[in-house]
Structure 1
Amino acid sequence: MRAGSQSDIAEGLGAFEGIVTKVIVLSLPDATERRERLPQHLAEFGISAFEWHDAFSPDHPKVQALQEQGLVASFPPCFRCGQKCCDCENNVLIPSQVANFASHLDIWESISQSGQRTLVIEDDVFFHPWTNRVVHRLRKKIQNGSIAFDAQTSMLLRMGWAKSRDHSAFRLFRVKHKDRLSNPCYALTPAFARLLLDRFTRVETTSDIFMHKQVADESNSWTVFPPIASELSWSDGSVDSQIHPKKNRLAFLAAHNRVDEHTEHEQRLRRHVQRMFSRPILCVGHPRTGTGYVAELCTKSGLDIGHETDGADGISSWMFAVDADENPWALDPIARTRRALHWRILIQTVRDPATAIPSIMRENEHAPASYSFRRDHIKSETGIDLDDFNTEAERAIASLCLWAQIIREQKPDFVFRIEHDSEALIDFLHDTGFDVHKEKLDLEPVNAEKLYKGVHYEKPKVADTDWGKIGPVPKKLLQEYCTLYGYTIPAGATK
């Protein structure tokens, strides 16, 4: 039966009657704002019979199954260009993109089994005023056989994409073999849905690239001009994007004086990771235990390791011991969060507690953001609150030892004792394949007399008797640290 025949028309499909027999709206179950807006908008085009298809969130079992079965491409390389280092704005498949792909797989499975030609739209779709005119012309082409759009024919119709110069009421109606990423509005036959499922092996790109560029070709797809639809999240920011936050959302919120939402969205933009960096080396440690020193040492040996900033061979930053959303000090985008970094070699710096603890006590007192950052992550990772310890010395000991424990659980490739291991580190790097040398390795301490907001403070003195006064929990942590890393337990803390 040819699509569009009288007996093939379903009611409630409005402008799309005679083209499809079903309309599906992809939408997250909790997308309240979107779900409240859409029915009235669809009614403007006579569409009352549609089905919500609940999209998956990243924690949905079907999404998790793809990850657990190794069916999601990892970084590096970039999933778009295939390069390890590139300028693509989004070079890694983030969880929401994987969830979106899984959601479309679920839709395609449903359509392939239903036998119905289906219009698939996203819940932030916006149909333009010329929709009825364009769809009327499209229906005629289907009815006269110019476009084969019956259930048994594998066919995709692209009808809406990100707003661009294509969107114009004055463009002549055309159907062309031009690919467009048309997830906001596309129609497909059950046969094309089966083709998509047959071609799927693993998530190696986004759902729109897979469908509209990799599977669709001139034999099984047409693109309708002018496009009848776009999506609001991309076009004007009137609704929030559920995959990548958009800057146009900020402008919309500011224009409507939605101050709190504007502040929240600014933070979301800062913290969102859609582009990964790849560097071979990551050096981490506790503040005041040599992350600056190891960066300088590696640089002297012929590598480019940045201290709390980017380097061609890697970065050294105590903040990169944890997956923070946003680091308190970041000198460039790569230093903003470890979540955006892929590395191959993890180096941990450690330092003799006898000299480290006074420096850490000074750090805790005069760099409250540093202390707060460590306190939050230590509590999250270990359940221990630094504020529960009685003295400055105990808090410094607990911070040093628990931060080292967090790093130790990540199985570092090399533990660098800053007092002893300079040559051993260079040997390790050489054996690992790096072009390094041992010339000019005699380094002075780096940042030993650190300034806090431009002011130098003397380190507190920790006498032998002070070590004996620490409580049983920090004492046990200290003893374990010294034993693991080969340091002498300070006198007074041995019992």
Structure 2
Amino acid sequence: MTLIQERSDFFVGLGHPRCGTGFTASLIQTGDIDVRHERVGKNGIVSWMLAGERYQNPYYDALGKLEGFRNIFCVARSPLAAIPSIIPENAVRRSFRWRMQVLRDRTGKNPMRDPAVRRNPLLCAVVSYTLWFELSLRFDPRIIYRVDVPADDAVLSRFIGQTITRSDGTERNSRPKVRYTDFAPDMLAELPSHWLRRFSSLAGELGYPEDAKLIEAHIA
């Protein structure tokens, strides 16, 4: 029997909470591929928690070590569009504390222990987005799929080997009422420059050059 890691028809999607992993799994399923959100399907799983390489996750299924998996990809969302969703997500203790435990174990540091970060929800969201995506990119994903760039659907189709179809009926775990509606990019000017530089650099690496330029413009 072929190991699951070696199968060419098994796909592993990484990402960050509130950045489109649920939508991506639903979109892949339109191509008759059994890739599920936070659950292992016959053909794979899309879950932000997989980057932790744990054998037990706070929500549903885990894979453990990702070494050897052939088809790892990363699901991305515009950083500036994601921040209003991440701010309330960070208030969910189970999600937030688990991310911070993983980052502490991987880096030897826990940036959330810094009182300046803990007291600032915007900075906290920027730090989480930056560090978690940096961690995800360490796995050298074969593609970065940007959920808010419809042209990337063709890239994802080629990657999984099936045609996918985006529609208004594609399931979204967007929770539109759970957002910080007062966010404006000008607020970034209040954040520490070193975090904005990393945030901007990551935005460019994920394929959002306009976001990167806007973030950089607010660096003191």
Shift of 1:458: 3.8
- 1:322 is aligned with what amino acid? G
- From 151, 156, 159, the equivalent of 1:425 is 156
Aligned to 2:2: 84
Q: Where does residue 312 of structure 1 map in the other structure?
A: 42
Match of 1:377, as an amino acid? Answer: V
- Residue in structure 2 matching 1:376, options 98, 101, 110: 101
Higher relative contact order (CA 8 A, sep 6+): 2
1:359 equivalent in alignment to 2:85: yes
Aligned to 1:489: 211
> How far apart are residue 322 of structure 1 and its match?
1.8
Which of 326, 335, 338 pairs up with 2:64?
338
Map 1:248-267; keep pairs closer than 5 Å.
none
Structure with more strand by fraction = 1
**Distance change in 2, residues 1:309/1:481 (3 Å):** same
Correspondences of 1:419-458 after superposition (within 5 Å): 419-420=148-149, 421-430=152-161, 436-438=162-164, 440-443=165-168, 444=170, 446-449=172-175, 457-458=178-179
Output the amino acid matched with 2:188.
W
Distance 1:437 1:458, change over 3 A: closer
2:141 — aligned with what? 412
Q: Are 2:209 and 1:479 equivalent residues in the alignment?
A: no
Per-residue deviation, residues 255-313 of structure 1 (Å, max 9, x unmatched): xxxxxxxxxxxxxxxxxxxxx99771100111111111111111012211011112110
Distance 1:350 1:312 in 2: 23
Contact 2:14 2:50 in 1 (8 A): yes
Deviation at 1:379, TM superposition (A): 2.0
Alignment of 1:50-199 (within 5 A): 83-84=1-2
Which amino acid in the other structure matches residue 316 of structure 1? V
Unpaired segments of 5 or more residues in structure 1?
1-82, 87-275, 431-435, 451-455
Q: CA deviation at 1:459?
A: 2.7
- State the AA in 1 paired with 2:156: L
The C-alpha deviation readout for 1:57-83, integer Å capped at 9, x for no partner, is: xxxxxxxxxxxxxxxxxxxxxxxxxx2
Q: 1:380 to 1:302 in 2, by over 3 A?
A: same
The reply to whether residue 293 of structure 1 matches residue 23 of structure 2 is yes
Q: Contact 2:78–2:211 at 8 Å: present in 1 too?
A: no
1:151-194 Cα offsets, whole Å, 9 max, x none, are xxxxxxxxxxxxxxxxxxxxxxxxxxxxxxxxxxxxxxxxxxxx
- 1:410 is displaced (CA, Å) by 1.1
2:77·2:146 contact (CA, 8 Å) conserved in 1?
A: yes
Give how far 1:460 is off: 3.8
Could you say what the CA RMSD is over the residues aligned between the two structures, in angstroms?
Answer: 2.6
Q: Give the AA of the match of 2:148.
A: E
Q: Identical aligned pairs, as a percentage?
A: 24
Structure 2 length-normalised TM: 0.84
Q: Which whole-Å deviations, capped at 9, do the CAs of 1:37-90 have from their partners, x for residues lacking one?
A: xxxxxxxxxxxxxxxxxxxxxxxxxxxxxxxxxxxxxxxxxxxxxx2379xxxx
- 1:342 deviates by 6.2
Cα distance in 2 for residues equivalent to 1:493 and 1:329: 35
Q: Deviations over 1:63-121 (max 9, x none)?
A: xxxxxxxxxxxxxxxxxxxx2379xxxxxxxxxxxxxxxxxxxxxxxxxxxxxxxxxxx
Give the letter for the 1:348 counterpart. C
Q: Secondary structure at 1:338's aligned position in 2? A: coil
Partner in structure 1 of residue 129 of structure 2? 400
Q: 1:472 to 1:426 in 2, by over 3 A?
A: same
Q: Greater Rg, structure 1 or structure 2?
A: 1
